[in-house]
């Protein structure tokens, strides 16, 4: 162990054990048009002299944290993102859109919907799902949809 700049570090530390990347997605809305956009900042950028750059006539209305996970397409997963999940109930297959949230009780990110209990957002779940939008920019209905069901 070596003490440098207020922290102990292990000289033999591998990249796998390096500090996790802290990123935040700031959602901004234009005052007049209502257009929603976002910018991603790493913590170092936020803490820098320049800080967050807000375009003229926009205001920040939401901040979402990067989970540290990528979906099956290599897309970064943020708090508020929507991931579809499949499950079976009463012998029928369903697809439900689950929302990524921070769960204080679990001290971590979870996914869940009104149809399923929350579960921890794991690397395995992330690698088998694809982000289809987020709750801030997409008006995606969080509805239960039957899959391969032809009898309405």
Residue % of the chain over a pLDDT of 70: 75
Q: Is the pLDDT of residue 12 over 60?
A: no
In this predicted structure, what is the pLDDT of residue 123? 94
Quick: pLDDT tens for 37-90. Answer: 999 988 888 877 677 778 888 888 888 999 999 999 999 999 999 999 887 788
Domain segments of the chain as ranges? 19-147
Reported pTM: 0.70
Residue 80 CB coordination number (10 Å): 20
Closest of 108, 105, 103, 97 to residue 135, by C-alpha: 97
Mean pLDDT of all residues in 84-108: 87
Tell which wins on pLDDT, 148 or 48.
48
Exposure string over 15-49, b if 16+ CB within 10 A, otherwise e:
eeeeeeeebbbbbbbeeeeeeeebbebeeeeeeee
Q: What angle do CA 63, 103, 16 make, to 5 degrees?
A: 80
């Amino acid at each position: 162990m070596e003490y440098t700049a207020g922290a102990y570090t292990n000289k033999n530390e591998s990249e796998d054990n390096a500090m996790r990347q802290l990123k935040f997605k700031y959602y901004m809305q234009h005052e007049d048009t209502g257009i929603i956009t976002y910018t991603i900042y790493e913590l170092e950028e936020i803490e820098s002299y320049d800080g967050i750059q807000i375009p003229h006539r926009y205001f920040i209305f939401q901040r979402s944290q990067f989970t540290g996970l990528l979906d099956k397409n290599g897309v970064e997963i943020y708090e508020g993102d929507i991931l579809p999940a499949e499950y079976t109930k009463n012998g029928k297959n369903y697809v439900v859109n689950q929302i990524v949230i921070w769960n204080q009780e679990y001290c971590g990110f979870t996914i869940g919907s009104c149809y399923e209990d929350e579960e921890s957002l794991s690397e395995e779940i992330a690698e088998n799902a694809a982000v289809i939008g987020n709750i801030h920019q997409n008006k995606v209905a969080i509805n239960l949809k039957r899959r391969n069901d032809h009898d309405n």
